[in-house]
């Protein structure tokens, strides 16, 4: 599997959104979301975003991720080739499970956000045995 | 009768559709290059990762977004005006009893080569930093090609 070559993809730009106060492009980070019995885990690619510049907001069932990227180049540099742009990352999800808000953990490593959303007790599946009557 | 001197490559009194076509083609190329204003084609190459290349008086800077790539898994080779960036992006397996809802991130190997830096570089002083998944390679220009500022002295 590791021998596979990565296919290049253009960054997905956010198409419609309420008007923003900050100028500049907004991109949709690529994510992996997986679920175990205990938690939902979300991994988001946000290159150039440091841990201080990420904001995660969970309101009711709406999860909002955003990350600011500092300008890439100083004033004296001129472009010879530009294949990607940088800007804000922004993505929203609606969660279907009850989340234990106090136990949420978030870490950033090498530009990837890892967000663990533990399920609240009520949402964990219970095994119901069917008794023979 | 008048004798007209034959001048190859230039359309004299006679209309030459082929040379006219070539002239038009050259003109279109010139306009295209002026508009895009980059030394390579401005269309991104279909190879991972996408790169941004900038320069100032002393250095070239090559930047790439490599989220989730361990800096130890990146290999950079530089010489003269040639640069190769290659490596591996690993996405570990997350337990056995998980079900995926979305899988947009991709693992695999990558290799990208740039062969056309405008000038030679000082390959012994190339430096690379990978911070928050953003790789920045600083390639100092070879001393012979650096821009020199010349002061004009008043007499």
In the predicted model, is pLDDT for residue A6 greater than 50? Answer: yes
C-beta of residue A35 within 8 angstroms of C-beta of residue A99: no
Name the residue with higher pLDDT: B120 or A21. Answer: B120
Residues contacting residue A93 through CB under 8 Å, at least 6 positions apart: A33, A42, A62, A63, A65
DSSP secondary structure letters along B94-130:
--SS-EEEEE----EEEEEEE---SS-B-GGG-EEEE
What is the spatial distance between Cα B52 and Cα B61, in angstroms, rounded to a whole number? Answer: 8
- Check if the interface score ipTM surpasses 0.90: no
**Residue B77 confidence class, pLDDT cut points 50, 70, 90:** very high
Alpha helices in chain B (DSSP H): 17-36
Are the beta carbons of A4 and B108 separated by less than 8 Å? yes
Task: Name the residue of chain A whose CA is nearest to B61's CA.
Answer: A77
Average pLDDT value for residue range B112-131 = 90
A123 touches chain B (CB under 8 A): no
CA–CA min distance A52, chain B (Å)? 11
Give pLDDT, residue A29.
Answer: 95
From chain A, the residues in CB contact with B130 under 8 A are: 110
Give pLDDT, residue A16.
Answer: 63
Among B48, B62, B81, B134, the strongest candidate for a mutation testing the A interface, having the largest count of A CBs within 10 A, is B134
**Residue B44 confidence class, pLDDT cut points 50, 70, 90:** low
Alpha-carbon separation of residue A13 from A91, B52, B104 (angstroms): 11, 18, 15
Of B50, B54, B107, the CB nearest to A73: B54
Task: Name the residue of chain A whose CA is nearest to B46's CA.
Answer: A8
Q: Which of residues 61-120 of A touch B (CB under 8 A)?
A: 72-74, 76-84, 86, 108-112
In the predicted model, is pLDDT for residue A2 greater than 50? Answer: no
In the predicted model, is pLDDT for residue B132 greater than 70? Answer: yes
pLDDT tens string A69-121 = 988 887 789 998 888 989 899 999 998 778 888 889 999 999 999 999 998 87
C-beta of residue A77 within 8 angstroms of C-beta of residue B55: yes
Are the beta carbons of A79 and B66 separated by less than 8 Å? no
In the predicted model, is pLDDT for residue A1 greater than 50? Answer: no
Give pLDDT, residue A27.
Answer: 92
Phi-psi region of B25 (alpha: psi -120 to 50; beta: other; left: phi over 0): alpha
A38 touches chain B (CB under 8 A): no
What is the spatial distance between Cα B88 and Cα B107, in angstroms, rounded to a whole number? Answer: 8
- SS3 (DSSP) at B44: coil
From chain A, the residues in CB contact with B61 under 8 A are: 73, 77
Average pLDDT value for residue range A24-42 = 91
Residue B144 phi/psi, 5° resolution? -65, -25
Give pLDDT, residue A123.
Answer: 63
In the predicted model, is pLDDT for residue B41 greater than 50? Answer: no
Are the beta carbons of B52 and A84 separated by less than 8 Å? yes
Average pLDDT value for residue range B130-150 = 87
Give pLDDT, residue A30.
Answer: 94
Are the beta carbons of A72 and B63 separated by less than 8 Å? yes
Give pLDDT, residue B33.
Answer: 63
The reply to whether the predicted model has a pTM over 0.80 is: no
Percent of all residues in chain B with a pLDDT value above 90, rounded to a whole number: 43
């Amino acid at each position: 599997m590791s021998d596979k070559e990565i296919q290049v993809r253009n960054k997905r730009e956010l198409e419609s959104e309420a008007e923003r106060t900050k100028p500049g492009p907004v991109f949709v980070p690529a994510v992996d979301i997986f679920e175990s019995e205990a938690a939902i885990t979300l991994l988001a690619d946000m290159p150039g975003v440091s841990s201080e510049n990420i904001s995660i907001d969970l309101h009711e069932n709406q999860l909002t991720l955003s990350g600011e990227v500092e300008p890439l180049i100083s004033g004296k540099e001129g472009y010879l080739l530009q294949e990607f742009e940088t800007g804000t990352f922004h993505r929203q999800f609606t969660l279907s499970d009850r989340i234990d808000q106090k136990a949420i953990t978030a870490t950033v490593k090498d530009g990837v956000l890892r967000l663990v959303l533990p399920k609240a007790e009520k949402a964990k599946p219970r095994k119901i045995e069917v008794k023979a009557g | 009768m008048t004798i007209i001197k034959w001048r190859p490559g230039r359309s004299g009194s006679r209309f030459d559709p082929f040379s006219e076509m070539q002239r038009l083609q050259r003109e279109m190329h010139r306009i295209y290059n002026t508009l895009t204003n980059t030394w390579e084609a401005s269309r991104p190459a279909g190879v991972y990762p996408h790169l941004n290349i900038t320069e100032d008086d002393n250095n070239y800077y090559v930047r790439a977004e490599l989220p989730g790539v361990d800096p130890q898994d990146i290999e950079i080779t530089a010489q003269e005006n040639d640069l190769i960036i290659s490596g591996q992006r690993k996405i570990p397996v997350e337990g056995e009893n998980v079900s995926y809802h979305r899988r947009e991130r991709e693992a695999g190997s990558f290799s990208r080569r740039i062969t056309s830096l405008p000038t030679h570089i000082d390959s012994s002083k190339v430096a690379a930093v990978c911070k928050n998944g953003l790789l920045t390679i600083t390639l100092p220009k070879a001393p012979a090609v650096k821009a020199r500022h010349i002061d004009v002295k008043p007499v």
